[in-house]
Structure 1
Amino acid sequence: MSHDSTKKIRQILLENGSITKPELAKLTNLTVATCGYILNGLVENGEVIAENFRTSSGGRPAMSYRYNSERCRFLCLYALFEGGAESIHYRITDAMYGLHGKGEFKCKNIKLKSLLQCVQKLLKQNPKICMISIGVQGGVSQGSVEFSDFPDLNGINLSHEMEQKTGIPTYVENDMNAIALGYSQRNANEKNVAILFTPKGNPPAGGFLVDGKILRGNANFAGELSYFPFPFSRNQQLDIFDNVKSALPYIRQVLFATVAFLDPAVIVFTGGLAEKLSKANLDMQMRNHLRRPQLPRLFFITDSSDEYFLGLTKIATEHFLQND
């Protein structure tokens, strides 16, 4: 059977919980026989569980099937530099977004060795982990960290190194992109989302979903807002973005530019300055400046860690679905 058909069945099982073959055939546009053949294979390898008989919509008894979330777990973690301190935060999840553990490691200096030590410790404690997803503050391209808040990770193909050392498929993503995916997952799969990160005392950053897909650009540079043409140097950004009073005019510039270039349905402000921004004020200024009947909805999230982990879980789940 085709890989696409198997992937489609996996996806439906994850979304619906328990389902019968006729219901599955209707949702996938596959024949009942095809669904039965694929399900038998998935039951045989332990990926799917066949449960007790229940009554189908047609009134006849039918076996129901559900995805076995215990079969495989994901290690989702991100490296964080905040307030002059470095730390590694993790959650252990599954393809149905269940939570099986969480915590953090304090680090003096995050580098490949310290990251690997944390991962190996967690793998030893959780042998069901079959996939790893990692978030990094910085530019990421095909698993390599091009630049970040962690100098010792720059230039390292983190995905390759982790897979070599652990034997487990590993996927690495930019933090803002992961948060954008997580926000979408948490909000009915909203397809056009802009995340505007406004940290206190650090340059801004962004992550964007366009039609449900991460906007990366030609060189994975999309969202690097510290290169926005502000009328001051990048070094001065640390001082300008240290408080709302000095940062507000430039936050407005980024907001207007985001609407003009991307026209998202939702713009989410997060970071240390987000809680000090006035939604009513930004809404009014956006309407006065852009004069459009339909404008993005504005939201403010002080702590985006839940969205971050949701995004990393989504990344792991999407790659997991590709497996035969």
Structure 2
Amino acid sequence: MNQVNTTMTVKRINTELVRATLKRLKSATKPEVAKATGLSVMTCGTILNELLATGEVLEQQVDPSSGGRPAIRYEYHANYAQIVCLYARTEGNEHFISYQVCNLLGECLEENTIYYDEITYDVYEQQLERLKDVYPAIKVAGIGVQGVVHEGVIGVCDIKRLEKVDIVSKLEDKLKIDIVAQNDMNLITYGYYQKQEDESPKNIAYVYFPDGNYMGAGLIVNGQVVKGETNFSGELSFLPLGILRSEQLGQFKQPDTMVKLAAKSIASLIVIINPAVIVLAGRCVKEEDLKRIESEVKTMIPAVHMPTLKYRHDIHADYMNGLKTLTLEQLSYPFKFEKKTF
């Protein structure tokens, strides 16, 4: 890397550090930003002035001073830009989208869930186009897909009308904003993990057992989401469970066979990633099933390697948190300040 590129990279990293710090502090003076970032007051002043000129940072009231020039406080302009997070799901006889429009601090400006007769690409496009008209400051849209997304193209998917759709390119061409699309279980797991304490386990799995669709999982190993070479990681319905894949849908609706199939799937995850926690969710599993599943798993693996099983009644909050976090990251320079990364 030549000197010019190095200087530009350092400046972008410093700018992102100041930006992230001001978001966290809500408001601060130049010396306070300098102390929090470890950068010089002069460097912070230059960056803050540049952000002030673009409107991304606002000046607050002047701090009282005992003498000399009064200190100016700066605050991050939360609505300088906005994001929209949208996912579609089909389960049982229900077909719906859920969305949130958020500012740059992650604060929700609008949210809704809308039901349809079926989900197609047009549902994504029409809703995003409508929201962009209402919120012209939207710069990025985060899209959750109930299937595999590889290089922006949807592959194996529970919503058949979306298979082989190049959803990222089509939406970017239409809306003229950045689009990030990701598998639903990766986002749900990421959202769940982001809410945990810093000292929480770094190896977890989140398994979803839906009604009428195939089971899937999101995996985090050493604090990183595992997507695999072609984003196929976590497609548990392709495990060799001793029955045809098409037979799984019916057997997961039967309590006894559900427990056995769930236990086999969980045992497979344990021997591959050895997680400390496995979260179970979905209409085909109930909280009272966890003890039976754990007992069944222990017949296959040594009890010392058994992770803690946890139950989530609803995935929506985890899903939206994962989408929101990932989408906001798209607006940041690709330099991570947190340990938890996608």
TM-score with structure 2 length normalisation?
Answer: 0.85
Q: Aligned with 1:50: secondary structure?
A: strand
Alignment of 1:155-194 (within 5 A): 155-188=164-197, 191-194=202-205
Aligned partners of 2:152 and 2:169 also within 8 Å: yes
Partner of 1:254: 265
Aligned partners of 1:201 and 1:243 also within 8 Å: no
Partner of 1:233: 244
Shift, 1:258, TM fit: 1.8
Shift, 1:162, TM fit: 0.6
Q: Structure 1 pair 294/151, CA: closer, same or farther in 2 (3 Å)?
A: closer
Aligned length: 320
Q: Structure 1 pair 165/291, CA: closer, same or farther in 2 (3 Å)?
A: same
Distance in 2 separating the partners of 1:15 and 1:217:
33
- The amino acid that maps onto 1:257 is S
Q: Share of identical aligned residues, percent?
A: 30
Distance in 2 separating the partners of 1:36 and 1:287:
60
Aligned partners of 2:287 and 2:311 also within 8 Å: no
- 1:94-124 Cα offsets, whole Å, 9 max, x none, are 2322111111232223222232112111222
Q: Tell me if 1:203 matches 2:214.
A: yes
Shift, 1:193, TM fit: 2.8
The more displaced of 219-228 and 38-47 is 38-47
Partner of 2:104: 95
- The amino acid that maps onto 1:92 is V
Distance in 2 separating the partners of 1:152 and 1:110:
7
Q: Structure 1 pair 245/163, CA: closer, same or farther in 2 (3 Å)?
A: same
Distance in 2 separating the partners of 1:294 and 1:64:
53
- 1:198-252 Cα offsets, whole Å, 9 max, x none, are 1234321001122332211112110001101101000100111113321111211
Q: Tell me if 1:84 matches 2:93.
A: yes
Equivalent of residue 228 in structure 2, options 177, 201, 217: 217
- The amino acid that maps onto 2:331 is F
Shift, 1:130, TM fit: 1.7
Q: Aligned with 2:143: secondary structure?
A: strand
Aligned partners of 2:263 and 2:294 also within 8 Å: no
Q: Structure 1 pair 288/151, CA: closer, same or farther in 2 (3 Å)?
A: closer
- The amino acid that maps onto 1:115 is Y
Equivalent of residue 313 in structure 2, options 292, 299, 302: 302
Q: Tell me if 1:150 matches 2:155.
A: no
Q: Structure 1 pair 137/25, CA: closer, same or farther in 2 (3 Å)?
A: same
Aligned partners of 2:209 and 2:284 also within 8 Å: yes
Partner of 1:122: 131
Shift, 1:19, TM fit: 3.3
Q: Aligned with 1:74: secondary structure?
A: strand
Distance in 2 separating the partners of 1:9 and 1:40:
11
Distance in 2 separating the partners of 1:177 and 1:42:
33
Structure 1: any 5+ residue segments left out of the alignment? none
Aligned partners of 1:201 and 1:240 also within 8 Å: no
Distance in 2 separating the partners of 1:21 and 1:281:
58
Structure 2: any 5+ residue segments left out of the alignment? 1-7, 335-342
Q: Aligned with 2:259: secondary structure?
A: helix
Equivalent of residue 318 in structure 1, options 313, 316, 329: 329
Partner of 1:110: 119
Partner of 1:48: 57
Shift, 1:10, TM fit: 2.1
Distance in 2 separating the partners of 1:133 and 1:181:
14
The more displaced of 121-130 and 22-31 is 22-31
Q: Tell me if 1:19 matches 2:28.
A: yes
CA RMSD of aligned residues (A): 2.5
- 1:39-65 Cα offsets, whole Å, 9 max, x none, are 111122111223234589xxx974433
Distance in 2 separating the partners of 1:61 and 1:289:
70
Distance in 2 separating the partners of 1:264 and 1:61:
54
